[in-house]
Structure 1
Amino acid sequence: MSPPTTPLLKLNNGVEMPALGLGVFQSPPEETVPAVETALKDGYRLIDTAAAYKNETEVGEGIRRSGVDRADVFVTTKLWLSDYGYDSALRAFDTSLANLGLAYLDLYLLHQPAPLDQEQWVAAYKAAEKLLAEGRVRAIGVSNHTPELLRTLMDHTDVVPAVNQVELHPYFIQRELRAVHDELGIVTQSWSPIGGITRYWPQAPNGGRSALQEPVVTELAAKYGKTAAQVVLRWHIEHGLCAIPKSVKPHRIAENLDVFDFTLTPHEVASIDALDTRLRSGPDPNTRRVG
């Protein structure tokens, strides 16, 4: 049986990005290579990493071992706060590219806003603009930016971010941010899309609670003969989002991709939307500082 075909989302510069990919946050280096190799062989075509994850080298090795053509894989990495600034950002990009063993990147993101060090934050994005103009990266964007922080950055730069990768799951649906993204032509990418952060993040306001145990989700899973996680990932797809669930377990990696043979009705999507608490579980982006 051939691997499933993942829908593509068109970015604001015309580049196409798969609507579902593999994230490798907190994936130990020794488990990252087989996870990436397995995912690509299963049919994934988007891999998301970051300099701060300390596994870029293993992501690159997984891509090479998979046998999938580099041109068919959409690779994202991110610039960490300690490398913000113009020249330091360019050097950090070169390091990431070398670690990955790639000639170019598909998407380069600023990992966090740095409103307390605005000059270096803006300079880092201007460095990303240079990389884009030179063709060393196909698209640029940001992560963890609120509407206010997005507008601040855009007031000082030229290229509208193609993507904003943010915490987004049934307990934190980011309705207002998604509306701003739609207005500006920015694709919303969901990290912790199944809501795992609400269980493992010590400061999570609803720590220990899981959207996968909510009756509305489990009932839909039973209706469609799917797992709760598949229902939640399908909810992201119905909203036109890009989801990047993380796993190093082969059966979970395969399961997370198997969401393109059913659909949720608008009423069912709305019923999952109703789980929204409007409470962020991850760090507050308004308090980040370079370093």
Structure 2
Amino acid sequence: MRRRDYLRAAGGAAALGLAGCMGGGDDGTESETDGTPTEAETVRVASGIPYPPFEMMENGEPTGFDYDMGAAIFEEQMGREMEFLDRSFDGIISGLQNGNYRVIMSAMTITEDRKENIDFSDPYFTAYQTVAVLENSDISSKAGLRGKTVAVQKGTTGAEAADDLQTEFDGDLTVSRYDSSASAFNAVLNNQAVAVINDNTVSAEYVNQNDEELRFVMGDGVAAEQRDDPPEYLTLSIEEYGIAFRKDDDEFRERINEILATLRENGTYDDIYSTYFAG
């Protein structure tokens, strides 16, 4: 499958709602009294780098889909400075709860478990959990993973999908957890695991860059059951990404939802999307 085909089914945004006005925070960098943004205020944004094409470093500077979306939201629409922070994804939620940064923008899937501790914006991207293996692997279906070792990034929904698969296989699956998606893919390339379970768009970056060594496992999955035009690769789940907020930051979250809708309406979202995803 060509690069365009891998990324064509990445999903884009779900419906983005309209709401509210902006409010203040308590982390020392955000404060407002009348709802009017002040240019001097800095929004601290946490992200787990690298996770291309959503967040990565180029020439020592952060970039990627989430970075560009953050710049459009906070700098262009709000007139604020944005500080994009590299944080371990495994502990990124606790840092938000502790007030170390205002929001998380890190290809974070909206889940019921996470919603018990944090709040999310309206969804801004749809993704799938997929399985990537070595090009010469004989694994051609989900069943082929039984009894094998799979690699995942710690704290991600890819790890959750692997845990669910382990349960489905009555424990006959070993899940190796790594600090980054790059390390998980290196485990497969070094024959320490037979597959990576990870988001489709991020996996596509690694598969495209190593197309003589890596491939997706193809076949029907959850997307084929729920979507009219599913991707050709095997899908273990359908997920939506959201921007994460502390539980006490409702007005700020509502303002971001309003801006997300504006970015969809004025074409900015499509411009950023087309920069990182074909089709």
Structure 2 length-normalised TM: 0.30
Bigger radius of gyration: 2
Q: Which structure is richer in relative contact order (CA contacts within 8 A, separation 6 or more)?
A: 2
Structure having the higher helix fraction is 1
- Give the TM-score normalised by structure 1: 0.29
